[in-house]
Structures are given as structure tokens and as C-alpha cells.
């Protein structure tokens, strides 16, 4: 026996005792071997020997059915469950069962809807629409390709220059509009007619007459 297999066999009783207590259900030696062999590397002989040792020590219970032995945790170590607790568990099981059935029904509905949707996607109308969308996408791709290939892009410096000129012109526009407003207000103080009549006689046209607005600073 290798050193690793010997160490696994030595620790087998503790491993099997914890496993049976955690699962709290009956197992044959073959069941325990199959469930724990991959994780712990226990051999069949080591599992049988450890189970028999635990049974002799009274740490687990052993029952014989025909030629097969069944092992399970000692039930005396677990707290007694009252009838009320059992009824509560039964009610919880009923509620969970109903929830499972509801979820299964929802899954069936979703599967049916998915099947209908998949079927709809294969209709000639949908195929035609898909082809049109692919054609449209190809057009956009070609347009983007041409834009990227163009050599007349505006440089950041040119863009900044345009913004500076716009700001300068707007500043001048605002300045002259303020001067014109102050001048017209001064004249209107001694003018006998209305502001509208004054503008018509003098021939003044305002921004509002041409539906234009001074941009925000």
C-alpha cells in the first residue's frame, strides 16, 4: 500500500462518520465507496473496514438485509422532532411543491412562446426583413469606410479657430445690439409715437423680425 493510500485508510473512520452524520440516510458500503472514492481516494477494502469498525464502536448503526449490510448514523444523537415540527415541515413541502409546479408551468409557457418565436423568425416575411436590414447595414458600413478614408478632415486647430471666430462675432453682435437698444431707448424718451412706429419710420429691423436669436455665450 502506498503512503498516500495508507494515510487515506487511517483517516477513513473520521471521514465516513462525518459523511453519514451529514447525510443522515442509509448507505451500503458500495454506495459510500462510490460517493467518496474520487474525493478522498478511499479503497473499497478501507471503506468496508472503517464502516465495520464504526459499527462495533457504536458510533453508527448497522442493519443486515439478506446478504447486504446497510449503515446509517445513530439517530439518538439527533434532537427529537415534535408532531408540530413535522406538520410545519409537511406544510413547507406542500408550499415548495406548489412553487415547483408553478415554475414548471411557467417554463412550459416560455418554451412554447420561444418555439412560436423561432417559427416566426423563419417565415418569408422575416427573411425578407433580415435581408433588407443586412443591405442597410452594408450601406452604413460603406459610408463609414468612405468617411474614414477621406483626407479633408477638419484638424483640431482649424476647429478651435472656428470656435474662436464664432465667439468673437457673437461678442461683437451682443455689443452692437446693446448700443442700438440704448440709443433707441434714449430717442423714444422724447418720441411722441410708439416704439413700433419709430422703427417703421426709421427702417430699423430687429433680430426678432427675422426670427434669429443671439447664441448663448
Q: Please, are residues 47 and 29 in contact by the beta-carbon 8 Å criterion?
A: yes
pLDDT at residue number 1: 47
Average pLDDT, the chain: 79
pLDDT at residue number 98: 81
pLDDT band at 81 (very low <50, low <70, confident <90, very high): low
Q: How far is CA 63 from CA 21, 33, 53, 184, 210, in A?
A: 16, 18, 14, 114, 104
pLDDT at residue number 35: 87
Residue 66 has pLDDT above 80, yes or no: yes
3-state class (DSSP) for residue 21: helix
pLDDT at residue number 106: 79
When pLDDT is averaged across residues 121-150 and rounded to a whole number, the result is: 77
Q: Which has the higher per-residue pLDDT, 25 or 177? A: 25
Residue 57 has pLDDT above 70, yes or no: yes
Separation between Cα atoms, residue 36 and residue 181, nearest integer Å: 95
pLDDT at residue number 84: 72
Q: Please, are residues 49 and 12 in contact by the beta-carbon 8 Å criterion?
A: yes
Report how far apart the first and last C-alpha atoms of the chain are (Å, whole number): 89
Classify the C-alpha dihedral 105-110-112-113 as positive or negative. positive
Q: At what angle do helices 44-56 and 29-40 cross, to 10 degrees?
A: 120
pLDDT at residue number 123: 67
When pLDDT is averaged across residues 85-114 and rounded to a whole number, the result is: 78
When pLDDT is averaged across residues 119-141 and rounded to a whole number, the result is: 76
Closest among 5, 3, 17 to 41, alpha carbons compared: 5
3-state class (DSSP) for residue 58: coil
Q: Where are the alpha helices (DSSP H) in 122-155?
A: 124-149
Residue 68 has pLDDT above 60, yes or no: yes
**Structure letter (DSSP) for residue 122:** T
Pairing mode of beta strands 60-65, 27-28: unpaired
When pLDDT is averaged across residues 203-209 and rounded to a whole number, the result is: 78
Indicate the range of 98-102, 118-122, 193-197 predicted with least confidence. 118-122
Residue 146 has pLDDT above 80, yes or no: no
Amino acid at each position: 500500500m502506498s503512503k498516500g493510500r495508507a494515510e487515506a485508510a487511517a483517516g477513513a473512520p473520521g471521514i465516513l462518520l462525518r459523511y453519514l452524520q451529514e447525510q443522515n440516510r442509509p448507505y451500503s458500503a458500495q454506495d459510500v465507496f462510490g460517493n467518496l472514492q474520487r474525493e478522498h481516494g478511499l479503497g473499497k477494502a478501507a471503506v468496508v473496514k472503517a464502516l465495520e469498525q464504526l459499527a462495533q464502536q457504536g458510533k453508527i448503526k448497522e442493519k443486515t438485509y439478506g446478504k447486504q449490510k446497510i449503515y446509517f448514523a445513530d439517530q439518538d444523537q439527533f434532537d427529537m422532532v415534535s408532531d408540530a415540527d413535522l406538520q410545519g415541515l409537511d406544510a413547507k413541502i406542500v408550499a415548495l411543491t406548489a412553487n415547483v409546479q408553478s415554475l414548471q408551468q411557467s417554463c412550459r409557457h416560455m418554451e412554447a412562446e420561444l418555439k412560436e418565436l423561432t417559427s416566426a423568425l423563419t417565415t418569408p416575411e422575416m427573411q425578407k426583413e433580415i435581408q433588407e436590414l443586412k443591405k442597410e447595414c452594408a450601406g452604413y458600413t460603406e459610408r463609414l469606410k468612405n468617411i474614414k478614408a477621406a483626407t479633408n478632415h477638419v484638424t483640431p486647430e482649424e476647429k478651435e479657430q472656428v470656435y474662436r471666430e464664432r465667439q468673437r462675432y457673437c461678442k461683437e453682435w451682443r455689443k452692437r445690439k446693446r448700443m442700438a437698444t440704448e440709443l433707441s431707448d434714449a430717442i423714444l424718451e422724447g418720441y411722441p409715437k410708439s416704439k413700433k412706429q419709430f422703427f417703421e419710420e426709421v427702417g430699423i429691423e430687429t433680430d426678432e423680425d427675422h426670427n434669429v436669436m443671439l447664441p448663448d455665450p
